[in-house]
Structure 1
């Protein structure tokens, strides 16, 4: 599996929540400016309540994109909810870049389980101009179309527990999706891994509940380090903040924790590759991950 090149075909699909055509149009514009040929899944704009169409239609679009030998990357339009409902029916087939985040964490964990292939944790094709500046576009493009190392610096407020640099596969993503994967076949073995966490719209006590569940279940045993991304709209107007909870609960793991990384639902979102080798360094405040091409050689 190689990095994308101008002329490659990418297919947009909506495995989770419904999307807005105007935002997808902007994403298509960006991808085409990179020289990529963009195709839309048959049901990409479908709506069925809080889902982007019925389960069978969303699954058909995803499987069709994965099976088409012309398609080099499958780019999800957005997250929302619904990926777990179809995860067991996905036919992964030949290696392709899978792009998305948030609810798409469910598909990325499933892909890691069946094939140990990495995937691209970054913005979907439904482009949010108000939170995705040029740096976000360049970061996603680098992950897909270059072999450059992806460097994410600590730029924001977040928990920090110092420790030596640690290296391991970068695994995880959205905390809610990771917690709801517990007890399924897709829950990864995180021993020796750098755990990535981000979320949106979860009050501190709910973050506490999810982290406590993961800790009590032993799912975080042996984690080498934790990369904490953006926890957007996670306040409940009480003195305890989301980052207070994260720092307190993650301290139990006895490993380095680096927060303040612009990865997730907030402004200036940057892209990383989950499932690829990464290094977390609290002294320099940097998370480094391999590009998708390099990661797929694992």
Structure 2
């Protein structure tokens, strides 16, 4: 069976309209206002989804309105980018209702991370759409530096390859198996990857570079998720592993998350590179 070609939308340009959507958790307007300012400073024209600020407990409104906003953005020919405000939880509840025909018909730049990994995996499965793993538009200056903003701008708006280099001061920098590897970069948030096993959206990682990152997960839970990926066969044939940030992943046991990552990943027999400044840090 022949796979569909990878769909790579063109880079955004000044003047482009970009939709802001909330497919997961509820978002604070004050944080989105900073994101809007940032996008406008790049010459982009933000368009707020009708239910952007909706709330239903830990969700940004009912499932039907969250996916309706997403599908409306994918179907609108004047929209060139779909930018998520934040993660949280809820994306897996709506991914089966994404209008993949609209995505395939008019591929757009899609950016987000964390819980949005579920949306990105679904778009890869249903449309072979290449997406951007990057911060949401609920922008927090205290967490996201000027360098982060420039990195996102480059990924969204510059038609050039993106290079991410290991940072020696990152907690996962010691997670390394020397070597080299090439392949399609797939993955994202480890929790979402582990919870995608057994669903149509778990990608075939054979020949791919797996990216993983997470936040607020103690080492034993990281161990559990990696063990689940290993035992399920999901990592069979993976070409390499790119390890991002595992932020606040600690508990009272005298075992670090870096130790867990080294122990669980070293047996794969492939190149592993940690210390990448990708994630919740």
TM over 0.5: yes
SS at match of 2:155: helix
How far 1:252 moved relative to its partner?
1.7
SS at match of 1:230: strand
Corresponding position of 1:252: 267
How far 1:237 moved relative to its partner?
2.4
Corresponding position of 1:152: 164
Corresponding position of 1:224: 239
| Superposition RMSD in Å | 0.9
Matched, 1:114 2:129: no
How far 1:131 moved relative to its partner?
1.4
4+ runs deviating over 2 angstroms: 159-164
Matched, 1:177 2:189: no
Matched, 1:190 2:209: no
Corresponding position of 1:233: 248
How far 1:165 moved relative to its partner?
1.6
How far 1:162 moved relative to its partner?
2.9
1:1-298 pair list within 5 angstroms: 1-92=9-100, 93=102, 94-155=106-167, 156-158=170-172, 159-266=174-281
Gaps of 5+ in 2: 1-8
How far 1:75 moved relative to its partner?
0.3
Once residues 61 and 129 of structure 1 are traced to their aligned partners in structure 2, the CA distance between those partners, rounded to angstroms, is 27
SS at match of 1:151: coil
SS at match of 1:166: coil
More helix by share: 2
Gaps of 5+ in 1: 267-298
How far 1:50 moved relative to its partner?
0.3
Corresponding position of 2:6: none
TM-score in terms of structure 1 length: 0.88
TM-score in terms of structure 2 length: 0.93
Whether the 8 Å contact between 2:10 and 2:109 is mirrored in structure 1 is no
More strand by share: 1
